[in-house]
Structure 1
Amino acid sequence: MRDIGIIGVGEIGRAIVDGLCDGVEDPPRIHLSPRGARTAAELSERHEGVRVCAGNQEVVDSSEIVVIAVRRQDRHEALAGLKVDDGRIVVNVMAGVGNDDLRRTLATDAPLVRAIPLPAVRERRSVTVTYPSHPAVDSLFERLGGTLPVADEAAFDVFSALTGTLTTHYAYLATLTSWAAGHGIPPEAAETYVRGLFQGVGRSLGDGTRSLRRLAADHETPNGSNERIRTTWFDRANSEALTRALDALLADLA
């Protein structure tokens, strides 16, 4: 696909553009909506072949694949009156908005594909879940780190719920940093150490030969510090609380 449109240029839209264009010899032409004007203008200045359209209809008319990345609560306003002919392919990256809902909003018979691109597509290192599988859309996300097509929308919603844990991980790291600072460690030094500590975890995750439980066991000494924190803080009660929170989120997304 040579022409890709993005309606809603926020963090995910920016990441998709950067992933498709940074260091790429022959990037696609990308057409951005004026929604998120500052980000769209910045991307068009930085990347050749990226332009800001006058409106959302121009994005659709100029593109073979149209990525809709507006916030769930803004979709009716942003997509009102939009005409999408059957020859386009629409990629729906709005959390909690099913394809039946989007099809009613757009009143189109064009192929609709849900996707969960994460900010790491910027570095082309993130697997993107898609449903239903579509060769053009799967090919697009293969360029951004890989594609994981799923069998049905129920499975897609489970993966969508998992993404809701991302900022909790960052907040957990920030809490570790604050704890160290509270014990007299300069905040900058604490953050440098915590970042390095968990960047190492990220590298370990790249070892697909070991399960997550195996990785945990391999990093743990019996009766050691890691086992102590895992069994006293992340105990059964906390694990069950996390499960309940995910179940509630899944119910809202489905």
Structure 2
Amino acid sequence: MPAETMIGLIGTGMLGRAILRGWLDSGIDPARLLVCNRSGSRDGVPKAVALTTEPSTLAQRCDAILLCVPPASVPDLALHAPDKLILSVMAGATRDQLSDLTGSPRVIRAMSSPAAGRRLAYSPWIASPDTTPEDRAIAKALFEAIGKTDEVSDEAHIDLFTAMTGPVPGFAAYFAALMARHATAQGVAPEIADRAVRQLFLASGEMLANDPMTPEQHVRQMIDYAGTTAAGLLAMETSPIQQAVAEGLQAAADKARTIV
């Protein structure tokens, strides 16, 4: 990403603040950032970062603009930026809708998560045909600054990732809660069950992130070992859990496609 590129961020909700924090922690110069929100609130916006309440001001000054507002705010977003690179992490807003909204043919649609504030987000993205190699390089740099990223080839996959990796801790928290409930039902003190499950998911996340084996390979290895975990995994494999997870993710993805 060229050192002189000016980046605009519209929206300072939970996700917007997290992305801004991740960018700054990654070493992006605050002088290259301009943030816009309608209220003018500096909540989560450091003094070193310029702030405006006018999208038009941001559009004039910035080379690339990341839209990070709730889907319900899309109709009220007055942003005319036909010669700018538009990036978006708004759930459900398609590349065509984003182009119509801003007037720009250079659109990159993505999804991220509040884990961006810890530089742990997964941010897949897809570019419109009119984006340039330089545009793609900017997107890659901005999303790598807050975690891991991939360019995908099917826009429908952005809705899938909106459901699957956009909510953090999201579905992982649900499974952790189920395990904690089981432990407390067996008489374990709630605070101990909570501590145990938190540590389990911390350790599991570290291993899954850094070990060369895929999650599927981890599962097969445990089943092949034929120990206590294998007994549990085999019982789960013959239960309705796989279908239930698929139905839950599909319901979330379907919501993402109709939320705007």
TM-score normalised according to structure 2 size: 0.81
Identical aligned pairs, as a percentage? Answer: 25
Q: Which amino acid aligns with 1:117?
A: S
Equivalent residue number for residue 34 of structure 1: 37
The residue correspondences of 1:67-216 to structure 2 (distance < 5 A) are 67-77=66-76, 79=77, 81-86=78-83, 88-106=84-102, 108-132=103-127, 134-163=136-165, 166=168, 167-216=170-219
Question: Would you say the 8 A contact 1:20–1:28 is kept in 2?
Answer: no
Query: The residue matched to 1:82 in structure 2 has which SS?
Result: coil
Alignment CA distance shift 1:25-1:136 (3 Å): closer
Once the two structures are superposed, residues 196-243 of structure 1 have per-residue CA deviations (whole angstroms, 9 ceiling, x without a partner) of 111110111123521211112334575543233333345452212322
Alignment CA distance shift 1:55-1:27 (3 Å): closer
The RMSD of aligned alpha carbons is 2.7
Once the two structures are superposed, residues 6-64 of structure 1 have per-residue CA deviations (whole angstroms, 9 ceiling, x without a partner) of 21211211111111112637445322222476xx51333xx353132123322322322
Distance (whole Å) between structure 2 residues aligned to residue 230 and residue 116 of structure 1 = 31
Question: Would you say the 8 A contact 1:158–1:250 is kept in 2?
Answer: yes
Distance (whole Å) between structure 1 residues aligned to residue 58 and residue 190 of structure 2 = 45
By how many angstroms is 1:113 displaced?
0.5
Equivalent residue number for residue 131 of structure 2: none
Distance (whole Å) between structure 2 residues aligned to residue 8 and residue 235 of structure 1 = 45
Query: The residue matched to 1:6 in structure 2 has which SS?
Result: strand
Q: Which amino acid aligns with 1:218?
A: Q
Question: Would you say the 8 A contact 2:85–2:104 is kept in 1?
Answer: no
Distance (whole Å) between structure 2 residues aligned to residue 125 and residue 137 of structure 1 = 16
Q: Which amino acid aligns with 1:93?
A: V
Distance (whole Å) between structure 1 residues aligned to residue 144 and residue 182 of structure 2 = 40
Q: Which amino acid aligns with 2:53?
A: A
Query: The residue matched to 1:241 in structure 2 has which SS?
Result: helix
Distance (whole Å) between structure 1 residues aligned to residue 254 and residue 28 of structure 2 = 43
Alignment CA distance shift 1:33-1:164 (3 Å): closer
Q: Which runs of 5+ in 1 are unaligned?
A: none
Q: Which runs of 5+ in 2 are unaligned?
A: 128-134
By how many angstroms is 1:151 displaced?
1.5
Identify the range of structure 1 (225-234 vs 68-77) with the bigger mean alpha-carbon deviation: 225-234
Distance (whole Å) between structure 2 residues aligned to residue 35 and residue 174 of structure 1 = 37
Question: Would you say the 8 A contact 2:12–2:44 is kept in 1?
Answer: no
More relative contact order, 1 or 2 (CA 8 Å, 6+ apart): 2
Equivalent residue number for residue 57 of structure 2: 58
Is 1:246 paired with 2:246?
no
Once the two structures are superposed, residues 171-211 of structure 1 have per-residue CA deviations (whole angstroms, 9 ceiling, x without a partner) of 22123223333444333322221111111101111235212
Distance (whole Å) between structure 1 residues aligned to residue 154 and residue 186 of structure 2 = 49
By how many angstroms is 1:119 displaced?
2.0
Query: The residue matched to 2:65 in structure 1 has which SS?
Result: strand
Question: Would you say the 8 A contact 1:28–1:49 is kept in 2?
Answer: yes
Alignment CA distance shift 1:218-1:112 (3 Å): same
Question: Would you say the 8 A contact 1:84–1:110 is kept in 2?
Answer: no
Distance (whole Å) between structure 2 residues aligned to residue 234 and residue 72 of structure 1 = 37
Query: The residue matched to 2:43 in structure 1 has which SS?
Result: helix
